[in-house]
Amino acid sequence: MNIIDAGFRIDEPLTLPEDEVQLWRVDLEAIGAEESRWKQILSSDESTRASRFHFSRDRQRFVTARALLRIILGSYLATDPKGLRFSYSKKEKPSLGPEHAESNVTFNVSHSGDIALLAFTRGREIGVDVEQVRRDFDLEAIARRFFSTHEQGQLVAVPAEEKPDSFFRCWTRKEAYIKATGDGLSLPLSQFDVSLEAGEKNALLATRPDGSEAGRWLLQDVPGGLGYAAALCVRGHDWKLNDWQQGRRT
């Protein structure tokens, strides 16, 4: 579902079937101007966090993405978005608090540039990442630092004009995996390989030291919009994606 209208509201309760992953894309630039509306939905600690942003643009984007997260979750759970409680893992991954455990809803959020992606499912670990594709930096130097040996080898073989897309395909796939596990950067990025090929059915190629872990996840590209790369990683193979391009809800 694609949220591009500042007047966005949900009139009918949303349903989230057990075997679905639902992906929402939020145009933060288009709807961020309604900051005062979105701010009312935040908890007091989220408002405090918002007030600490140095740049108003960053504050506005955090407020908007967090409010939309609450609105969508509130609809799935048929509860007041403002009353939702979040818990945070040791590595800061947010999830619904224990009072909402019965719903089994899991989610993950990513933002870059003007876009936020919000991904939801039930009973599965999930991670999503979106990045604006940039060309203004030494991507091979960054790849040497963050990519596995196998991934660096793939990137070297890509023609120069395709390198930025391949680089961000690799980056978002790696991020989606470490966000799904919840480990963040505490998981050494050299301990798993992703494919750099476009359109892979499962881009998680190898995990170390436990090689069987790779088969327990599905890692795929998702539509981030023009100029963006995006990937989604979900534990298990028994789910289907309902993404923002299929159902346009504004």
Number of residues in contact with ligand COA under rule CB under 6 A: 22
Helix (H, G, I), strand (E, B) or coil at 241: strand
Phi, psi at 109, each rounded to 5°: -130, 145
* Site mask for ligand COA (CB under 6 A), range 170-189, x = bound: -x--xx--xx--x-xx---x
Comparing CA positions, the residue from 101, 123, 115 lying closest to residue 18 is: 123
| SS3 (DSSP) at 75 | helix
The verdict on 193 binding ligand COA (CB under 6 A) reads no
CA angle 79, 120, 52 (to 5 degrees): 75
User: According to CB under 6 A, which residues from 111 to 170 bind ligand COA?
Assistant: 111, 127, 129, 146
Any contact of residue 92 with ligand COA (CB under 6 A)? yes
Site string for ligand COA, 63-82 (x = CB under 6 A): ---x----------------
Strand 126-132's sheet: what is its strand order?
A: 126-132, 228-235, 217-221
Between residues 1 and 173, which has the closer beta carbon with respect to ligand COA? 173
Helix axes 44-51, 56-76, angle to 10 degrees: 160
Q: CA 167 to CA 104: how far, in whole Å? A: 34
Strand pairing category for 105-112 and 204-207: unpaired
235 sits near ligand COA (criterion: CB under 6 A): no
109 binds ligand COA (CB under 6 A): yes
Q: Cβ–Cβ contacts within 10 Å for residue 117, how many?
A: 29
Stretch that binds ligand COA, among 28-36, 51-59, 92-100, 218-226 (CB under 6 A): 92-100
Q: Is 204 helix (H, G, I), strand (E, B) or coil?
A: strand
Q: How far is the CB of 111 from ligand COA (least distance, A)?
A: 4
Specify the residue, 13 or 48, whose C-beta has the smaller distance to ligand COA.
48
Is the Cβ of residue 13 or residue 198 nearer to ligand COA in the bound state?
198
Nearer to ligand COA, 34 or 46 (CB): 46
Measured distance CA(170)–CA(165) in Å, rounded: 9
Span from 19-27, 106-114, 153-161, 200-208 in contact with ligand COA (CB under 6 A): 106-114
Binding site for ligand COA (CB under 6 A): 62, 66, 91-94, 108-111, 127, 129, 146, 171, 174-175, 178-179, 182, 184-185, 189
